[in-house]
């Protein structure tokens, strides 16, 4: 009896010591994310990326498939940990912590943090183009088309343009572009949209372009009016003509009317 009591109290002391010192938890399952800490983060000389502090990405160990943990402090993850993860794992960790506003890549807030995340997302997207499967690339292109940054959206669109086209990818691009205020992004999108259009994959184009030119942000609306001519056809020209009549006088209306005239001349062989 005495020996069992002694062993019991020895176990209690050991557990108390581990709790006080913090435990290191490693993901060892095949394909799992790199090791993370369950205790306080340890500084690392290799943790700097583009001059910012090491990212504290929530639930790094579960970044491949599991949900973001909301219990306790975020696990510490170094830039080296992101590099050792697969591109898909790293992108999942970054997009999740960005959505939860828990990445903590910098000591600042707002735009500093946003651009730090964007830089890492672009790095991982570049890795994905050489290390990811076509299915992974297509899935991430569709998802990142909705990321709230024009640089990431443009990179996702460029990736999508290099992949075999699909109706799902076109739908994701149309949905994202319909909400944009970014004329630069639209300028990069027109050639890709025309590429898909030539293959008959243009579902949703009309509503997206009409919405932007009619009620979109000023720069986006003007961009569409200046570039809409290749997207006009017998099925939608009447709708664009109606919108042109409803627009207030100005540069946007003039650009749309010019596109409509050019389309009619082309149809007449002019």
Separation between Cα atoms, residue 177 and residue 167, nearest integer Å: 15
Distances (CA, A) of 35 to 28, 41, 42: 8, 12, 13
pLDDT at 104: 84
pLDDT single digits (tens) 71-129: 323 333 456 678 789 999 999 999 999 999 888 888 766 788 899 999 999 999 999 99
Q: Which among 32, 153, 29, 143 is positioned nearest to 86, based on CA atoms?
A: 32
Q: Is the pTM of this model over 0.85?
A: no
Residue 38 has pLDDT above 60, yes or no: no
pLDDT single digits (tens) 55-65: 445 444 333 33
Distances (CA, A) of 93 to 68, 115, 122, 202, 254: 9, 16, 13, 33, 47
Residue 22 has pLDDT above 50, yes or no: no
Number of other CB atoms surrounding residue 108 within 10 Å = 12
Do 199 and 165 form a contact (C-beta atoms < 8 A)?
yes
């Amino acid at each position: 009896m005495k020996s069992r009591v002694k062993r019991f109290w020895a176990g209690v002391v050991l557990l108390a010591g581990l709790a006080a010192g913090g435990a290191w938890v490693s993901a060892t399952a095949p394909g799992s994310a790199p090791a993370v800490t369950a205790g306080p983060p340890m500084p690392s000389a290799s943790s700097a990326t583009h001059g910012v502090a090491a990212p504290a990405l929530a639930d790094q160990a579960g970044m491949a498939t599991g949900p973001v943990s909301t219990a306790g402090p975020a696990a510490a993850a170094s830039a080296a940990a992101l590099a050792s993860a697969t591109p898909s794992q790293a992108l999942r960790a970054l997009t999740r912590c960005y959505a939860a506003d828990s990445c903590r890549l910098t000591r600042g807030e707002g735009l500093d943090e946003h651009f730090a995340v964007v830089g890492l997302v672009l790095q991982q997207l570049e890795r994905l183009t050489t290390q990811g499967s076509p299915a992974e690339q297509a899935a991430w292109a569709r998802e990142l088309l909705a990321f709230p940054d024009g640089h990431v959206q443009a990179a996702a669109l460029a990736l999508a343009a290099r992949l075999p086209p699909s109706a799902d990818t076109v739908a994701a691009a149309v949905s994202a572009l319909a909400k944009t205020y970014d004329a630069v992004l639209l300028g990069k999108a027109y050639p890709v949209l025309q590429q898909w259009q030539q293959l008959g994959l243009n579902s949703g184009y009309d509503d997206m372009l009409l919405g932007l030119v009619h009620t979109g942000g000023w720069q986006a609306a003007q961009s569409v009016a200046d570039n809409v001519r290749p997207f006009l056809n017998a099925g939608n020209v009447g709708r664009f003509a109606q919108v042109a009549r409803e627009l207030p006088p100005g540069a946007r209306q003039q650009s749309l009317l010019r596109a409509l005239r050019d389309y009619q001349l082309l149809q007449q062989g002019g």
